[in-house]
Amino acid sequence: MKTTSFVAASTLALAAASPAFAQNNSTIDQLGSGNNATVTQTSSGNTSDVDQLSDGNTATVDQSGPTNSSTILQSSILPNTANVDQDGANSFSDIEQINGSDNSTADVFQDAAADLNTAEIIQDDARFSDADINQGGGANNGAVISQGDETLFGGTNTFGTQNGDADITQTGSDNFALISQIGLGSVAEVVQTSDASFAQINQNANSGGSANAFIQQVGALDYAEINQNSDFSNAQTYQNASAVGNSTIINQGSVFGSDGNFAESVQDGDGNTSEIDQAENSIGGLNTASVLQLADNNFSNVTQEGTGNTATVDQLSNGNASFVTQTGSGNTTIVTQ
């Protein structure tokens, strides 16, 4: 069944007298059974397209701001749920729940103070998983979440995503965040509350295990990247309010069996760079790396290719450089500058 409705900003009489661009456009295609789609458009110039091509799905779209666009595609075997709330203006949302995805939920919230934002959630072979994008303020933010059996960076995994949880929150402007998630029970979260920052999390648990990753960017012009290609790894980076122009890259594992690593990077100054590589080229796990940079223009590189190593780097003054390499097992390194 296909239904198409045009809802005016106020009364039907006003709609008849209004130009075409003030009208809303809602299209719903339901080809399965037991589907439920609800579209509410109370502003003007909005477009909504809901396609439910399988059974038992639920889709809800609420567009109370003007000139927004929303598309939802649900074509998996078992039911999924998608919710879109667009209260700002000129924003775009796309949700796809396809192929082997089942019992998963995707939510996009674009607040009244958020304009010109884009949000995309792709759940392709994602089971019992949850993805949330919250764009609560600012303008010109972009967010992408992918959950399934293939990462956005070319990695594949027959386990797909199960019981995954991915969340992106953006309240600044001109930010971009991307989460690509494969694994069983993996958790990823990005929080961006300032402007012009980039964040990326890539989780590819290579034997079906879980991974945990967290990025918080409160300063401006920051860059953060976490790549987890192993199981049971944990990585987190904090770039705080007084931090501007910092960069963090954390790589955990690229070889089967390189599991159980922990990495943390905290930057509260300006122009700092931190890179942590754990078991990128050899089998190694259970390593711990911690980097703290509270001043300006510091550089830290930690490489751990062994097992059970610990590295702690604290840079509390300006213009320092630290290089730590651990290739054995059970080593401990402490650097204070």
Q: Which pLDDT score is estimated for 150?
A: 58
Q: How far apart are CA 166 and CA 152, in angstroms?
A: 14
Judge if 45 and 149 occupy the same domain.
Answer: yes
Q: Which pLDDT score is estimated for 19?
A: 43
Tell me: the pLDDT tens digits for 176-218?
Answer: 999 999 878 899 999 999 999 999 999 987 555 688 999 999 9
Judge if 230 and 325 occupy the same domain.
Answer: yes
Q: Is residue 185 part of a domain?
A: no
Judge if 151 and 14 occupy the same domain.
Answer: yes
Judge if 4 and 147 occupy the same domain.
Answer: yes
Judge if 147 and 242 occupy the same domain.
Answer: no
Measured CA to CA in angstroms, residue 252 lies from 39, 215, 274, 287 at distances of 43, 15, 14, 10
Judge if 116 and 234 occupy the same domain.
Answer: no
Q: Is residue 187 part of a domain?
A: no
Q: Is residue 211 part of a domain?
A: no
For residue 146, which of 94, 111, 110 has the smallest C-alpha distance? 94
Judge if 288 and 144 occupy the same domain.
Answer: no
Q: Is residue 200 part of a domain?
A: no
Judge if 111 and 259 occupy the same domain.
Answer: no
Q: Is residue 205 part of a domain?
A: no
Judge if 13 and 157 occupy the same domain.
Answer: yes
Q: Which range marks the domain in which residue 222 is found? A: 218-337
The domain total for the chain is: 2
Q: How far apart are CA 172 and CA 134, in angstroms?
A: 11
Judge if 14 and 151 occupy the same domain.
Answer: yes
Q: What are phi and psi of 21, to 5 degrees?
A: -70, -15
Q: Which pLDDT score is estimated for 157?
A: 55
Instruction: Tell me the pLDDT of the chain (337 aa) as tens digits.
Output: 333 332 323 222 223 333 444 699 999 999 989 999 999 999 999 999 999 999 999 999 999 999 999 999 999 988 999 999 999 999 999 999 998 888 999 999 999 988 999 999 999 988 899 999 999 988 999 999 999 865 555 555 555 678 889 999 999 999 999 999 987 889 999 999 999 999 999 998 755 568 899 999 998 999 999 999 888 899 999 998 777 999 999 999 876 667 899 999 999 999 999 999 998 777 778 999 999 999 999 999 999 998 999 999 999 999 999 999 999 999 999 999 9
Q: Is residue 203 part of a domain?
A: no
Judge if 58 and 136 occupy the same domain.
Answer: yes
Q: Is residue 208 part of a domain?
A: no
Model-level pTM greater than 0.85? yes
Judge if 237 and 324 occupy the same domain.
Answer: yes
